[in-house]
Amino acid sequence: MMQVVHSRFNALLSACVLSLIATAGWSQSLTWLGTLPGYYRSSANGVSADGSVVVGRDENAAGQTRAFRWTASGGMQDLGTLGGNLSVALGVSADGSVVVGWANNAAGQWRAFRWENGVMQDLGTLGGNVSAAHGVSADGSVVVGWARNAAGQDRAFRWQNGVMQDLGALGGNESRAHAVSADGRVVVGMARNAAGQWRAFRWTASGGMQDLGTLGGDRSEAWGVSADGSVVVGWARNAAGQELAFRWTASGGMQDLGALGGNQSAARGVSADGRVVVGWYRNAAGERWRAFRWTASGGMEDLNTSYASLLTNGSVLWVAYAISPDGRYIVGWCYNAATGRNDEAFLLDTRCTTHNGDVDANGCVDDTDLLAVLFAFGQRGSNLGRVDVNCDAAVDDADLLTVLFNFGSGC
């Protein structure tokens, strides 16, 4: 009799393990965005607040690029150009209706653009012949980037209501803006100091341009900013000449985020509250980039490890370029082994979904679900899948009690 019970338990445990393998990452998803017809590589550079709109660039064999706007229902939309043959989308408003970037005009000159309702608007320059937009406020009314002035200098700009404002520099003659706070009041980027060195900056109308320093080296660049402008991320050189991702706050200064054993990393995006940072790093073996996510509690994690269950056939997430305000959606580009594309845009949904204990999602809370939670009991992390019933990043008593309370439901 004991042998029969033991055999049944082993069978249930095996079923549980198979269920775990099949459902790991069930709540999360990875979407390959593909390319426009006739194009062979793509990258995602921005995502709307709800993850429904992604923007970026496609490239064809002739080296021509096109800005795209992707939606789940409509796929990739070519946003066109300003009369030339090149365009790139770099930022998107919270609701996904406004896209910014740069495009060539008929004379082949780069121009910052703002796209809305099918119309691409040339934002002009600061007196020169080149400009590019990198970031946009949550409501789409403020655009930031860089533009050439009449003296041939590239300067950070803030555009609003048809007016392009030169934000100056840090004692030198060049600057570039890369991101703007949700309300459009705080701008971050990079500017040359009096010694000609590039420095990450934070700009406000009242305080002007502030040098954020370095990690002990001679260069830094800011690429992302939190919704209220209090947290800035990017990369900076340290005393050893290594370029490493940083997170800056007024109270804590510039914090080195590390590189997971490697010697190079860069932060590109940050959540609205400043608690989640994404970017890329180069590992200790010096291999090509790997996408990372950083949190104060968990430090830096390789997204390829955290979401390995979503990656098949040797695919690799190269770069995490942007993150939604709530930290749920991450976009960038990757190697998609299924299509053979070395660079393909991706959308990663990291959200865990709470449920009633039906781990295998078959409509019945039963022995298999109970054993799944027991088998994973004590595990912690952001990629536990449906065994983390209440989505608190831990499989513990709370998850077990939910299964027990609902045991037999739907069966």
- The residues, ordered by sequence, that sit 6+ positions from 228 with a Cβ below 8 Å of its Cβ are 181, 182, 183, 186
Task: Name the residue ranges covered by the structural domains of the chain.
Answer: 2-24+356-405, 30-349
> Which phi and psi angles does 244 have, rounded to 5°?
-130, 150
Per-residue pLDDT for 79 more than 50?
yes
CATH no. of 30-349: 2.120.10.30
pLDDT at residue 185 tops 60: yes
DSSP 380: B
Pair 344, 333: CB distance under 8 Å: yes
Q: Please report which helix (H) or strand (E) contains residue 7, including its range.
A: helix 2-23
Compute how many other C-beta atoms are within 10 angstroms of the C-beta atom of residue 313: 10
Conformational region of residue 193, where left means phi above 0, alpha means psi within -120 to 50, and beta covers everything else: beta
Among 351, 362, 381, residue whose Cα is nearest residue 28: 351
Average pLDDT, the chain: 91
Cα separation of 11 and 367, whole Å? Answer: 11
More confident residue, 36 or 15: 36
DSSP code, position 289: P
Q: Read off the pLDDT of each residue in 43-65 and give the average, rounded to a whole number.
A: 96
> How far is the first Cα of the chain from the last one, in angstroms, to the nearest whole number?
27
**Given this model, what pLDDT does residue 288 score?**
81
pLDDT-derived band of residue 26, with 50, 70 and 90 as boundaries?
A: very low
pLDDT surpasses 80 at 13: no
3-state secondary structure of 131: strand
Q: What is the pLDDT of residues 203-249, one digit of tens each?
A: 999 999 999 999 999 999 999 999 999 999 999 999 999 999 999 99
pLDDT at position 313, please? 85
pTM of the entire structure? 0.85
DSSP letters, 58-121, are EE-TTS-EEEEEEETTTEEEE---BEEEEEEEEEE-TTS-EEEEEEEETTS-EEEEEEETTEEE
Could you tell me which of 136, 161, 164 has the C-alpha nearest to residue 148? 164
Question: To the nearest 10°, the Cα dihedral for 241, 242, 246, 251?
Answer: -40
Residues facing residue 193 across a β-bridge: 170, 171
Range in 159-163, 302-306, 340-344, 386-390 with the lowest mean pLDDT: 386-390
Judged against a pLDDT cut of 90, whether residue 74 lies above it is answered with yes
Name the one residue in this structure whose structure tokens are 């934000």. 167
User: Could you give the percent of the chain with pLDDT greater than 70?
Assistant: 93
pLDDT digits (tens, 9 = 90+) for 393-405: 789 999 999 999 9
